[in-house]
């Protein structure tokens, strides 16, 4: 009863990272990105099971990789889709009936602290149907047109850069995925789907180490975070 599941969209190609294996299978300090992400979720006491949406051509190798890990009994693998939204939808379908809270966490955010995972679950269980981590924006953000001319400067105080894991009431997230498809807009996160249904999404304080690996430079930042953790005795 009342179990919490984490869905891990990991089926992207990582085009902005440059040529190579799918992003989730690239290594940071000798360990695949996906293993860091799944290990945090699987070791969180607030998470009961993890469903990974793997690149469709790599389901077997991802399953074999995860089967070698100490937390493998909590983890299952499905084939992801052509878009992130489809990958999440495919993982949602695989959930057992007794799951009532769902986290969605990008494989591309391998170094998320377990405390953030637990804080998101707690905020959903406290009665918020949708909860996301966010950080204040440090750059000045301007809206531009296709010629690169500035249209406006947006008040930075009201902006947040949104991370994952994002937490939801399971039934709400399922309804959002069933009702909205890509013809209704590009949804780059799951909270966007829920917002489109008119539901209020709660933002809690995110964490700088929940950064997303997008470009090669991000790999160097992640390596630095890992080196810092190892030096302070935190095993990753």
Contacts with ligand CTP by CB under 6 A lie at 9-16, 23-24, 53, 80-84, 87, 106-108, 212, 214
**Distance in Å, CB of 34 to ligand CTP, minimum:** 8
| Segment interacting with Mg ion (CB under 5 A) among 7-15, 49-57, 67-75, 176-184 | 7-15
| E strands present in the chain | 3-9, 27-28, 31-32, 49-54, 75-79, 99-104, 130-136, 141-144, 150-154, 160-162, 166-169, 202-205
Nearest residue to ligand CTP, using CB?
A: 12
Type and span of the H or E element at 35: helix 33-43
Site for Mg ion in 71-110 (CB under 5 A): none
| Segment interacting with Mg ion (CB under 5 A) among 10-18, 127-135, 148-156, 209-217 | 10-18
**Distance in Å, CB of 41 to ligand CTP, minimum:** 13
Tally of CB atoms within 10 A around 83:
17
**Distance in Å, CB of 62 to ligand CTP, minimum:** 11
| Beta strands at 130-136 and 202-205: parallel, antiparallel or unpaired | parallel
**Distance in Å, CB of 16 to ligand CTP, minimum:** 3
- The residue among 13 and 45 lying less far from Mg ion, judged by its C-beta, is 13
Cα pseudo-dihedral 198, 203, 207, 213, rounded to 10: 10
């Amino acid at each position: 009863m009342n179990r919490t599941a984490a869905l891990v969209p990991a089926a992207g190609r990582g085009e902005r990272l440059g040529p190579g294996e799918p992003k989730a299978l690239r290594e940071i300090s000798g360990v695949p990105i996906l293993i860091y992400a799944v290990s945090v979720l699987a070791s969180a006491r607030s998470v009961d099971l993890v469903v990974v949406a793997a690149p469709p051509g790599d389901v077997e190798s991802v399953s074999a990789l995860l089967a070698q890990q100490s937390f493998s009994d909590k983890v299952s693998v499905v084939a992801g889709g052509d878009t992130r939204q489809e990958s999440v939808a495919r993982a949602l379908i695989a959930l057992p009936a007794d799951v009532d809270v769902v986290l969605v966490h990008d494989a591309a955010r391998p170094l998320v602290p377990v405390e953030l995972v637990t804080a998101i679950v707690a905020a959903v269980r406290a009665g918020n149907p949708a909860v996301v981590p966010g950080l204040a924006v440090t750059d000045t953000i301007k809206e531009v047109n296709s010629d690169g001319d500035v249209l406006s400067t947006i008040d930075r105080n009201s902006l947040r850069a949104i991370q994952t894991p994002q937490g939801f009431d399971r039934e709400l997230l399922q309804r959002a995925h069933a009702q909205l498809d890509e013809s209704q807009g590009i949804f780059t996160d799951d909270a966007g789907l829920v917002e489109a249904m008119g539901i209020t999404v709660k933002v809690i304080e995110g964490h700088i180490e929940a950064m997303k690996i997008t470009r090669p430079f991000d790999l160097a930042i992640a390596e630095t975070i890992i080196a810092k953790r190892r030096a302070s005795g935190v095993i990753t």
